[in-house]
Amino acid sequence: MVRKGILFVVSGSSGVGKGTINKAVLEKVSDIRMSVSATTRPKREGEVEGRDYFFVSPDEFAARVKNGDFLEYAKVYSHMYGTPRQFVEENMQKGYDLLLEIDIQGAMKVKEQMPQGVFIFIQPPSREVLAQRIHGRGKDSMDSIRARLAAYEQEMAMRKHYDYVVVNDDLEEAVYKVQAIIVAERCRVRI
């Protein structure tokens, strides 16, 4: 019998560095695949269709929602994002471990459907560091900064729903910790 794949959900606030961590993890860990989400947001420079995202129109996204194609979907900063159900289920059945990079609301929806997944919360070093980073960029209005910091408190409160917390202070260390979690989970005795 083929061992069923393990679903690793890496999530946390937008801008916390989960994308950077995941890319590094993918290079270091063998036999793990990254799920590619669909989004309605425009493609950024350097992004590749099917590698970074499947870029779809709002109409197509809505049709896929209606069709039940997404394991979860969410609106994140004015664009829609969805995790393709078929890709996740097929790969897990075949025994591949999967890495999912999604926001917190999405992770909670996946947890409802797949509580056997491994949920990893990426945390910024502190509220102060987050505030400094936002201020430092100089792009956000005071209202937006307040909203983001308010969201920070709410997001921290979600940590208790996760299996692991990794603080992204030093990138290399954060990558090492996620890698270690994957290795440990693969060694776990499962029923």
The residues of the shown chain that bind ligand 5GP, judged by CB under 6 A, are 14, 37, 41, 72, 74, 76, 81-83, 101-103, 106
> For ligand 5GP, which is the closer residue by CB, 37 or 123?
37
Least distance in Å: CB of 120 to ligand 5GP? 12
Residue nearest to ligand 5GP (CB): 106
All residues at 6 or more sequence positions from 84 whose CB lies less than 8 Å from its CB, including other chains: 35, 36, 37, 38, 54, 69, 70, 71
C-beta of 3 vs 161, nearer to ligand 5GP? 161
Q: Quote the least distance from Cβ 174 to ligand 5GP, whole Å.
A: 15
Residues sharing a CB contact under 8 Å with residue 128, sequence separation 6 or more, in sequence order: none
- Please check whether residue 46 is in contact with residue 28, taking contact to mean a CB–CB distance below 8 angstroms: no
Helix (H) or strand (E) holding 121: strand 118-123
Cβ closest to ligand 5GP, residue 4 vs residue 41 = 41
Strand partners, 81: 39, 74
Pick the closer one to ligand 5GP by CB: 97 or 103.
Answer: 103
